[in-house]
Amino acid sequence: MTYVPPIRDINFVLDHVADVDDLLTRPPFTDVDRETLDFMIEEVGRFMAEVIAPTNVDGDKIGATWSVGDDGYGRVTVPESFTSAYKQFVASGFGAVPFDPEFGGGGFPWIAAIAIQELMTSANMAFALCPLLTQGAIDAIHHHGTDDQKALYLPKMLTGEWTGTMNLTEPHAGSDVGALTSKAEPVGDGSFKISGQKIFITFGEHEMAENIIHLVLARTPGSPPGTKGISMFLVPKYLANEDGSPGQRNDVSCVSIEHKLGIHGSPTCVLAFGENDGAIGWPLGDEGAGMRNMFTMMNNARLSVGLQGLALTERAYQQALGYAQERVQGTAVGAEKGAKSPIIDHANVRRMLMTQRSWIDAMRCLLYENAAALDRTVGGGDDAEAQQEWADLLIPLSKGLCTDVVNEMTSLAIQIHGGMGFVEETGVAQYYRDARIAAIYEGTNGIQAADLVGRKLPMRGGAVVLEKLDAAAALAAELTGVAPLGDFGPRLTEATAAARRATEWLLEHGMTNPNNALAGSTPYLRMLGVVICGSLLGTLAKATLDADDDADFLAAKQASARFFGEQILPTVGALEAQVTAGADLLFALSAEQLA
């Protein structure tokens, strides 16, 4: 199934929601001109559609395979088409766009990387995970590495010639990263011997790149228990020679890979460190600061996983739309007597397509606004602190909401296909399977909800959230009575009021008994997420009223915003009761009684 990059839709959000023109007047982005940014996004779209998208089915059907290499270490083989596409990706240089020019980067804002990632992930999510993890490792080395480490690793990682991994998870340490037990023993020359087993490591082994730089969380001798005793280490697959080229094999072995529901092209590895002569690693950042340092990249990583939700919804929608136009079944209301109709003419199918379409617009607004807020914190402008609060609040919404919604939207794409959707040959089932992981990794959505009520809601005693709800209410009032938007304004007013009541309830009852807040955290994330999406779509819809653009395009944006307002915002009302019910009923049955 071909993929058509939604360049125009991306541009519209860049213009009217994320306000990129404003962003580019702020340091350090003043050298980036808008025309070049637009041109780049367009060329990236073509590259992803023509080079990366055709490899998506290979990833699913052939997948990654494991074997033992000649050197005795575990080997992972990805489909041949991945290897050649990756070579082209390295040649393209698109992996370097948002990074420090000192190391070969383009110095573009993060939002540019987000656009590239959306396009790459829609094209092939499993493939896109490799550059995504590399990006996270680059970020970590850039923030916490010594000058020597930066000079040695960053240039090759920016080009993609070397890739990166993140090693947190262990069999007994998943959501509870603090429980990890991997060890790091000092050798005496500044290096450490790393030992332990990591599981679920994305692209932990492969041969698309000449080296893999593992970032590993481990404990040094005598360190305190819990997260305070965790340090971060840089462990290359091949130790660097004097001249920086990859030399001796380090003692890191992929002992197996997982068989998974989706993203078959992305190897999920069990990595054994130091089973033989010891894996050599170097500290990245201060001893004991491993967790804290990990958090500096967390925002970007969570945003990117949220983006997977948008990217797969977009891809699944494109395919479902194509199918709905071609599949003929039944006679739709209004069709000529006796004529058979394409299923797109049935109201029920339209509902599914409109739901997907309006969620795509909503998610794109949310994610790109989140990226823009992160970018606005960088230059230290007057509003940097406010932008940081805004970005921090948006992160669990971007991650949690978009990766929940994608399960529903890819499921609708299957539904639109009927029985053919359940059959693998149509390819639409792949999006559904691939999407499922996004709600789990990078902090499960349960953890996102806990982050929202436990860390983000309490910011300034709840004022950050309440101010945003005030702004949403003001916009809702402004859009009330604006004819092309139907009842968008009134519905946003109601939804905002419901979210405010729920927020106040949590502020009052959650602080005294945290389980009250945690019990309602998941519906609250949904509720606040939908309302914030509604207000961002309000901004988008407002822009359509006087934007200088193609009339059909603007009308389509209005219809989709209006659909979100009239059909999705009202669902928020039902969530209020869930948020404010408290924890008692959840625990009414004992663990034994549940059996």
Partner 1 sequence: MKVVVCVKQIPDPADPGALDPETKTLKRDMKLILDESDSYGVEMALQLVDAAGEGEVTLVSMAPNNERSGLSTALAMGAASATLVSDPALQGSDSLTTAKVLAAAIKDQSPDLVIAGSESSDGYTGTVPEQIAGVLDLPSVTAAKSITVDGSSIKVQRQTDAGHDDVECPMPCVVSVTAGVVEPRYPSFKGIMAAKSKPVDEKTAADLGFDADAVGWAGAGQEIVDVAEAPQREAGEIVEDDGEAYTRIVGFLEELKII
Ligand X SMILES: Cc1cc2nc3c(=O)[nH]c(=O)nc-3n(C[C@H](O)[C@H](O)[C@H](O)COP(=O)(O)OP(=O)(O)OC[C@H]3O[C@@H](n4cnc5c(N)ncnc54)[C@H](O)[C@@H]3O)c2cc1C
Q: Closest distance between ligand X and the C-beta of residue 588, in Å?
A: 19
Answer yes or no: are the C-beta atoms of 188 and 58 closer than 8 Å.
Answer: no
Nearer to partner 1, 96 or 519 (CB): 96
Task: Answer yes or no whether residue 513 interacts with partner 1 by CB under 8 A.
Answer: no
Q: Closest distance between partner 1 and the C-beta of residue 36, in Å?
A: 5
Task: Answer yes or no whether residue 91 interacts with partner 1 by CB under 8 A.
Answer: yes
Q: Closest distance between partner 1 and the C-beta of residue 590, in Å?
A: 59
Strand partners for 253: 272
Task: Identify the helix (H) or strand (E) that includes residue 211.
Answer: strand 211-219
Nearer to ligand X, 278 or 446 (CB): 446
Which positions lie near ligand X, rule CB under 6 A? 166-169, 174-175, 200-202, 260, 268, 437, 440-441, 444, 446-447, 450
Q: What residue has token string 């491993």?
A: 290
Candidates 275, 442, 494, 592; catalytic one: 442
Strand partners for 221: none
Task: Answer yes or no whether residue 92 interacts with partner 1 by CB under 8 A.
Answer: yes
Nearer to partner 1, 48 or 209 (CB): 48
Nearer to ligand X, 168 or 572 (CB): 168
Nearer to ligand X, 288 or 514 (CB): 514
Q: Closest distance between ligand X and the C-beta of residue 331, in Å?
A: 45
Q: Which of the choices partner 1, ligand X, none does residue 97 contact, using the CB cut-off of 5 to 8 A by kind?
A: partner 1
Stretch that binds partner 1, among 35-43, 253-261, 294-302, 474-482 (CB under 8 A): 35-43
Q: Closest distance between partner 1 and the C-beta of residue 284, in Å?
A: 27
Q: Closest distance between partner 1 and the C-beta of residue 229, in Å?
A: 41
Task: Answer yes or no whether residue 109 interacts with partner 1 by CB under 8 A.
Answer: no
Task: Answer yes or no whether residue 47 interacts with partner 1 by CB under 8 A.
Answer: yes
Stretch that binds partner 1, among 93-101, 184-192, 204-212, 438-446 (CB under 8 A): 93-101
| Cα 572 to Cα 90, 353, 425, 454, 578, distances in angstroms | 44, 21, 37, 21, 10
Q: Which of the choices partner 1, ligand X, none does residue 446 contact, using the CB cut-off of 5 to 8 A by kind?
A: ligand X
Q: Return all residues near 313 (Cβ < 8 A) that are at least 6 apart.
A: 356, 359, 360, 363, 405, 406, 409, 410, 435
**One-letter amino acid for residue 196 of the chain:** G
Q: What is the DSSP string of 43-90?
A: HHHHHIIIIIGGGHHHHHHT--EEEE-TTSSEEEE--HHHHHHHHHHH
Tokens at residue 71, please? Answer: 């050197």
Nearer to partner 1, 161 or 275 (CB): 161
Strand partners for 186: 192
Nearer to partner 1, 92 or 250 (CB): 92
Torsion of Cα atoms, 232 then 234 then 235 then 241, to 10°: -160
Task: Answer yes or no whether residue 46 interacts with partner 1 by CB under 8 A.
Answer: yes
Q: Closest distance between ligand X and the C-beta of residue 437, in Å?
A: 5
* Secondary structure class of 218 (helix, strand, coil): strand
Task: Answer yes or no whether residue 43 interacts with partner 1 by CB under 8 A.
Answer: yes
Q: Which of the choices ligand X, partner 1, none does residue 200 contact, using the CB cut-off of 5 to 8 A by kind?
A: ligand X
Answer yes or no: are the C-beta atoms of 488 and 566 closer than 8 Å.
Answer: yes
Q: Which residue is nearest to ligand X (CB)?
A: 174
Task: Answer yes or no whether residue 39 interacts with partner 1 by CB under 8 A.
Answer: yes
Nearer to ligand X, 471 or 511 (CB): 511
Q: If you count DSSP H runs as helices and E runs as strands, how many of each does the chain have, helices first?
A: 20, 12
User: Strands 162-167, 211-219: parallel, antiparallel or unpaired by DSSP?
Assistant: parallel
Task: Answer yes or no whether residue 131 interacts with partner 1 by CB under 8 A.
Answer: no
Q: Which of the choices partner 1, ligand X, none does residue 201 contact, using the CB cut-off of 5 to 8 A by kind?
A: ligand X
Stretch that binds partner 1, among 31-39, 271-279, 313-321, 583-591 (CB under 8 A): 31-39
Tokens at residue 226, please? Answer: 């819990």
Task: Answer yes or no whether residue 30 interacts with partner 1 by CB under 8 A.
Answer: no
Q: Closest distance between ligand X and the C-beta of residue 447, in Å?
A: 6
* Secondary structure class of 195 (helix, strand, coil): strand
Binders in 51-90 for partner 1, by CB under 8 A: 51, 88
Stretch that binds partner 1, among 38-46, 135-143, 300-308, 504-512 (CB under 8 A): 38-46
Could you give the angle at which helices 7-16 and 347-378 cross, rounded to 10 degrees? 50
> Could you write out the three-class secondary structure of 498-547?
HHHHHHHHHHHHCCCCHHHHHHCHHHHHHHHHHHHHHHHHHHHHHHHHHC
Q: How many other C-beta atoms are found inside a 10 Å radius of the C-beta of residue 208?
A: 22
User: Strands 192-202, 183-186: parallel, antiparallel or unpaired by DSSP?
Assistant: antiparallel
| Cα 5 to Cα 41, 299, 308, distances in angstroms | 10, 26, 15
Among candidate residues 430, 400, 438, 436, the one with its CA nearest the CA of residue 413:
430
Nearer to ligand X, 90 or 437 (CB): 437
Q: Closest distance between ligand X and the C-beta of residue 198, in Å?
A: 7
Task: Answer yes or no whether residue 246 interacts with partner 1 by CB under 8 A.
Answer: no
Is 118 annotated as catalytic? no
Q: Which of the choices ligand X, partner 1, none does residue 362 contact, using the CB cut-off of 5 to 8 A by kind?
A: none
Q: How many other C-beta atoms are found inside a 10 Å radius of the C-beta of residue 385?
A: 11
Answer yes or no: are the C-beta atoms of 184 and 148 closer than 8 Å.
Answer: no
Nearer to partner 1, 97 or 218 (CB): 97
Q: Which of the choices partner 1, ligand X, none does residue 47 contact, using the CB cut-off of 5 to 8 A by kind?
A: partner 1
**One-letter amino acid for residue 153 of the chain:** Y
Among candidate residues 320, 330, 381, 327, the one with its CA nearest the CA of residue 355:
320
Size of the site for partner 1 (CB under 8 A): 19
Residues that bind partner 1 (CB under 8 A): 4, 33, 35-36, 39-40, 43, 46-47, 50-51, 88, 91-94, 96-97, 106
Annotated catalytic residues are 442
